[in-house]
């Protein structure tokens, strides 16, 4: 095994952006109203959410615009999730006033600027926002950028599924996505009643897959590339199942049906709720 260190993703944003713009420009008018797997959001709502996240990045991180303080500071993870959901919903409602053409024109401007911003960052500098779903109170730029890469990828996956476009599941796109996402095990297993030295092995089959292990230590859980032995629990699935699990696009019943598991129930149960997104 080796520690799961820096996962470079900044170089992937220009290409991922091009795929998004090509997809959106090819849509028919009726496609924009199609439902997606993102709860009640349509195709246009998901595109609007991507624009919102890009505008916020450029405003707060590149331009130093002051963060807008909430009416009440969130206390704990659950209240932070609620705050973010409310912010996202407010924007999506307002953006329904925008035409699809205007959404695409805006995204065509903001996407390359965000990619340029990410390429300029010191990977080991302190990020503006910590990755809370990985149980971090401080994060380095590479992980924050990687978190944003998973956002761009999975929202585009939602769009592609909604309109019947081929998914971006080649290894160059999906493997780094999974390498970032498995960090979610740190929070998912945090309160599992297993002793120090417990090990969970997660194997993803297919071209984009790999094997990762989460190990419990004195300072909590850490994630490694490779297979821990012996393992307290194991899970195995394909890449499509893995990304849907991490991004809340898989029902509990489907997760239990599609993921092969064995070992300690204390870890298996928490696997099904591992999320690499704030929910």
State pLDDT tens for residues 177-187: 999 999 999 99
Q: What is the mean pLDDT of residues 189-211?
A: 94
Residue pair 261/268 in contact (Cβ under 8 Å)? The answer is yes
Claim to verify: residue 210 and residue 160 sit in the same structural domain: no
Q: pLDDT tens digits for 203-222?
A: 999 999 999 999 999 889 99
Claim to verify: residue 30 and residue 152 sit in the same structural domain: yes
Claim to verify: residue 43 and residue 135 sit in the same structural domain: yes
Would you say residue 70 has pLDDT above 80?
no
Of the residues 116, 141, 168, the one at which a domain ends: 168
Of the residues 119, 147, 168, the one at which a domain ends: 168
Claim to verify: residue 83 and residue 16 sit in the same structural domain: yes
Would you say residue 256 has pLDDT above 90?
yes
More confident residue, 114 or 73: 114
- Provide the CATH number for the domain around residue 209: 3.30.1050.10
- The reported pLDDT for the residue numbered 198 is 96
Residue pair 259/243 in contact (Cβ under 8 Å)? The answer is no
Q: Is 252 exposed, middle or buried (0-12, 13-18, 19+ CB in 10 A)?
A: exposed
Would you say residue 72 has pLDDT above 80?
no
Q: What is the mean pLDDT of residues 102-124?
A: 98
Q: What are the CA-CA distances from residue 107 to residues 20, 66, 229 (Å)? A: 9, 22, 46
> pLDDT confidence of 279, banded at 50, 70, 90?
confident
Claim to verify: residue 124 and residue 37 sit in the same structural domain: yes
Q: Is 164 exposed, middle or buried (0-12, 13-18, 19+ CB in 10 A)?
A: exposed
- The reported pLDDT for the residue numbered 53 is 96
Of the residues 119, 145, 168, the one at which a domain ends: 168
Claim to verify: residue 151 and residue 255 sit in the same structural domain: no
Would you say residue 73 has pLDDT above 80?
no
Number of domains in the chain: 2
Q: Radius of gyration (Cα) for the chain, nearest Å?
A: 19
User: Domain containing 135: what range?
Assistant: 2-168
Q: What is the mean pLDDT of residues 88-106?
A: 96
Ranges 111-125, 152-166, 189-203, 222-236: which has the least confidence:
189-203
Residue pair 91/52 in contact (Cβ under 8 Å)? The answer is yes
- The mean predicted confidence, pLDDT, of the chain is 95
Crossing angle of helices 13-25 and 141-163, rounded to 10°: 20
């Amino acid at each position: 095994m080796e520690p799961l260190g820096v996962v470079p993703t900044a170089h992937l944003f220009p290409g991922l952006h091009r795929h998004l713009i090509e997809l959106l420009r090819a849509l028919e008018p009726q496609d924009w109203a199609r439902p997606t797997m993102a709860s009640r959001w349509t195709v246009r709502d998901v595109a609007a959410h991507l624009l919102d996240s890009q505008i916020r990045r450029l405003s707060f991180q590149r331009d130093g615009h002051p963060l807008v303080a909430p009416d009440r500071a969130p206390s704990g993870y659950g209240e932070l999730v609620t705050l973010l959901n409310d912010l996202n919903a407010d924007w999506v409602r307002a953006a329904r006033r925008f035409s699809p053409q205007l959404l695409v024109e805006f995204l065509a401007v903001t996407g390359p600027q965000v990619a340029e911003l990410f390429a300029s960052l010191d990977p080991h500098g302190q990020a503006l926002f910590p990755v809370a779903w990985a149980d971090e109170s401080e994060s380095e730029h590479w992980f924050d950028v990687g978190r944003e890469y998973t956002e761009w990828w999975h929202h585009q996956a939602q769009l592609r599924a909604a309109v019947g476009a081929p998914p971006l599941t080649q290894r160059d796109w999906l493997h780094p996505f999974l390498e970032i996402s498995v960090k979610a095990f740190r929070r998912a297993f945090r309160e599992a009643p297993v002793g120090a030295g417990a090990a969970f092995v997660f194997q993803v089959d297919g071209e984009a897959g790999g094997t990762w292990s989460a190990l419990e230590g004195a300072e909590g859980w850490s994630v490694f590339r490779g297979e821990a032995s012996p393992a307290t629990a194991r899970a195995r699935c394909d890449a499509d199942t893995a990304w849907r699990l991490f991004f809340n696009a898989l029902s509990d019943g489907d997760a239990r049906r599609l993921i092969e598991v064995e070992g300690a129930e204390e870890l298996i149960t928490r696997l099904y709720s591992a999320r690499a997104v704030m929910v």
